[in-house]
Structure formats: C-alpha cells, structure tokens
Structure 1
Amino acid sequence: MNFDAIFSFLEATSSRSESNWQLANLSNIARLLVPDVITGSQDTVLRADINTLWTQWFLESICDPERFVEPYPGYAHVFHAVNTEIPSIFSNIDAGKRSDLVKQIARLIEKEIQRRQIRSRAAFDSSIKDALWDVYGSDPRCWICGYQFSQWAIDKFLGRVTSELIPQPQFIDYLKPHGINKRDFQIEIDHVFPFAGGGDDDPNNLRLACGWCNSYKSDRLSIYDVAAKPPVIQHPKLGRVSVPHPFWSVRLLSLHRRCEYEGGCDKTVENSELTVTSRHQEGSMNPINLRVTCLDHDHLGSSRFISKTFAERLFKK
C-alpha cells in the first residue's frame, strides 16, 4: 500500500469547492490512478460497471439509438450514421481498420436499438415452471439472496389450491427490507440478463427469485444505474443512519452469493438467506462499504431488525 499515493489521491479528489468547476483542476484529478484501497473488496464490480457505462455513453455519442427505434429503418442507416462520425474520431488509423471499427460499432448500436424496441412478454407456461422446479429441488431458495420460499409461495407458483397463510414477519431487516409487501414472498421467474435489456426466455437465462429481489433488480445492469447517495432513515435505536439502495444490495448479493466474512464462512445462497452489512461500522452504506453477510457474522446484531409497522412507514412502496 503506497501511503503517498493514497494521501495525494484523497487530497486531490475530496475537494468540495469552486475548484470542481475549474477544468485544469479536473484534468489533474482525471490523470490519477485510483488506489485499490479506495474501491476495497468491491473493486471488481465498481470498475467493471463504470467501464460498461462509459462504453454505453461512447457508443451513444456516435449514434443515438433513439433515432432509430420506431420504426427501425435497418442496419444500413445505422452503418451510415456511424460511418459519418468515425473518420473524425479515428483519423489516425488506416482505412481498413477504421472500416472494421465502423462495422463493430454499428452492430453494437443495432443491438441496443433492438433492446429498446418494445417486445411482448408472454406468460411462462407450466413446462417452464416445472423445468425450473426440477433444477431447484425440494428446498427452493431465491437465487439472489437465498430466501427460503414458504409453502404458500410454492403452492402459488405451482398453481395449487392452498390453505397456507402468507408469511407475516413481525420484524424487518432495515438494510434489506424484505417482507413489507405481499410480492416480497412470492416466487418469480427472473431473467438473469433482463428481458427489457435483450435477454431471452432460454432456461439458461432463467432463475427463481423472491419478489423483493426481482422487483429491485428489474432491468438494471450496473450499480451506477441508481442514485449515487444512499438514502437516510431515522432508525428507532441507531438514530439517523444511511441505508443502501436496494439495487446495490441485489447487485452484490447476486454476484457474490456467499458470506464475505473475512475469517471464512460456508454460508451461501444455496443453504442460507444472506443480507448486506457495512465493512466499516462507522461508515456510510455505499457500495464501497457494503459486504454480503450471513446473520452469524453480522456486527449489527438485534439492531438490524425493526418492527414491521415502523418499516412500513419507512419503506412501503
């Protein structure tokens, strides 16, 4: 760990003053390398997601997909639009390589256009449900957080008449407020790569998820697809505290799928329900400070749970 590099990075990037509106100062910040300690254990997802976002912005800066969504005039029009811009951006590469780049970018933009076109979503028939059920076996859990589905949820998913009652928890995890709405307990079929993002109904792209995880995962792809600041609540015991945006939790849970306790833990979404906690107890609940945990290795203890009535006032949609 290079102390001087960390010190310099913090000094340069933590300024909240008029210097943030001076291009020369921003140029200096842009040239800095981000020390690994800044992004911490979530370094991979934070860097990968921002690179993906930058690529999306770059492609859309060359050719706006919205111009071609409805009606789609065809690949030739997209190719022409891209070919109009590329020579001025990549004037220093030879014509052959530039032509290959035009084709690549045009194809990528065409895929984005197809993604944005409205597709009808058909209801899943019983054969798809049965196939997924065979994979999940007799102890089905949410593929994202490991929530164990109740008999009520199982009967509802399989279309059975049931006398089972909807689960009614008395307390709610304030960092992952699952259990406030009826949908939270349901079994839903999730597209790993979102349907709205171009994902298909191939069984390899389908998983069983609880309604809470599925609703917040939605069609999002990047941890930067939601607000940058964590929401703040008034906790009955802890006072004013931040909470993670639900999608941050879903994104990290779906990627790690096991307890990240530093001392090692055998709890995974295959055998336990997992949640998130802070890596640094005094820190804000932002993605850098979040880690996936089981309840055995959670430093919050009983403070994690608040009454359902109180949680409904804070979180109910």
Structure 2
Amino acid sequence: MSFPDPMLGFRRDLLKGDMYREWGRWFIEQFIDAKYLSNNVTYAEIFYDVFLIIDKICGWTYDRNDKQEISGIISKYVLQRIRIITESYKRKKISLSEKRELLELLGDKPRCWLTGMLFSQEAIDLFLGRQNATIKLPDYVDKYMPIGLIDRDLKIEIDHLYPFALGGDDSIENFRLICGWANMVKSSQVTMYGR
C-alpha cells in the first residue's frame, strides 16, 4: 500500500525516504538473533542463519545461487547493524557541566524537545543530581498521551537526536533534553514513524 502523493505534500520525497529507511531497518532487524549481541558473531554464522531463513521463505521460487546472493547482501547489513548495536553499549557518561550546558541552551523555561512539555523544578534538580528532589505525579493524566503515570515520565533524560544505536555520536550537538515518557516512546528511532 502506498500513500497518495497529494497527502504527503511538497516534501513527499523526503517523507518517502524516511518511510523506506524505517522499512529497511525493520527488514534487516528481523534477521538479528539475540545470540549475536552477546557473542562475537562472524559473518559466516550470520550468513548460515540468514540462508536457512531465505531458503525456507523463497522455497522453489529462486535457485540456490540467487538465495546465496540475497543472503550475502542481507548478512552484510545484519553484521553492520550488530556492530552499531553493540557499540551503543559503550556510551560515555554525561558530565554535570554538560548537563548544565544543555539546560542553559534551553533558557529560562526548559522543555522536552519532542513533546514540548515544560520541565518542573524538581525534574531539573534531579537531573543535576540534587538529592532531596522528588517528582510529584499529576492527579489526572491524558489517556491519549499518558505522561505522568510513573515518575520516569516526568524526569529529564538525554536523547541522542540521531540515535547512538544508528551511529549517532556522543556530542553536545547530538544531545537533546527529553522527558522520560517521550524517550521511552521514541527509543532508538530517528523519527516517530517507527512507533
């Protein structure tokens, strides 16, 4: 199914590119087995597993050489993706001075870059490591955007604008302040299309 071009507006090529990237990532990630993330997996092991899946899916539609070619292409991308994911486990710790700098960039009323929600003083205090601060949950929560069911929702977290798991770096230029709820929903997506 494809969207009618007029629905996508004048930036349709950009939006289609985003959709194809998300679809491509989803396609490759379905071949990633959890065992690959905890072991030093080799290309040959990945190729073997991918080939078994492709052989089963394609059946008699393709000959063995075509299946091997397809498996080789997919295996290459799976190995790249595994390296990016395992590298994401090596993130650097954000210093207090970097946290202060990020808050200062947002001015007097810092907000979540994704939802626009104003951060409370308690959330700011917790973010800066002040011990006595606690988050007060709201009495009522919007069922369509349930921010505030748990205290993490209202805390300040650091988001990688371009996700670390996709190769984004640990630099102040790539950091954004985000509420815990939005960070949980966005996860490692570049856009919200993935969710």
Among residues 105, 111, 118, which one is paired with 1:141 in the alignment? 111
| Compared CA separation, residues 192 and 222, structure 1 to 2 (3 A) | closer
Q: Shift of the alpha carbon at 1:47?
A: 3.0
| Compared CA separation, residues 141 and 59, structure 1 to 2 (3 A) | closer
TM-score normalised to structure 1 length: 0.43
Take 1:217 and 1:156, find their aligned partners in 2: how far apart are those partners? 22
Q: Shift of the alpha carbon at 1:170?
A: 2.0
| Compared CA separation, residues 55 and 179, structure 1 to 2 (3 A) | closer
More strand, by proportion: 1
Q: Shift of the alpha carbon at 1:166?
A: 2.5
Paired position in structure 2 for 1:200: 169
CA contact (8 A) 2:111 2:119 kept: yes
More helix, by proportion: 2
C-alpha RMSD of the superposition: 4.0
- Structure 1 unaligned spans of 5+: 1-29, 82-86, 90-101, 227-317
Paired position in structure 2 for 1:229: none
Q: Does residue 1:166 correspond to 2:135, yes or no?
A: yes
Q: Shift of the alpha carbon at 1:183?
A: 0.7
| Compared CA separation, residues 181 and 114, structure 1 to 2 (3 A) | same
Q: What letter matches 1:154 in structure 2?
A: I
Q: What letter matches 2:150 in structure 1?
A: N
Q: What letter matches 1:145 in structure 2?
A: T
Q: What letter matches 1:113 in structure 2?
A: I
Q: Shift of the alpha carbon at 1:180?
A: 1.2
Take 2:123 and 2:10, find their aligned partners in 1: how far apart are those partners? 35
| Compared CA separation, residues 169 and 37, structure 1 to 2 (3 A) | same
Paired position in structure 2 for 1:94: none
Q: Shift of the alpha carbon at 1:208?
A: 0.5
| Compared CA separation, residues 114 and 170, structure 1 to 2 (3 A) | same
- Structure 2 unaligned spans of 5+: 49-64
Equivalenced residues, count:
173
Q: What letter matches 1:216 in structure 2?
A: V
TM-score normalised to structure 2 length: 0.65
Q: What letter matches 1:207 in structure 2?
A: R
Q: Matches of residues 101-250 of structure 1 in structure 2 within 5 Å?
A: 111-117=80-86, 119-162=89-132, 166-221=135-190, 223=192, 225-226=194-195
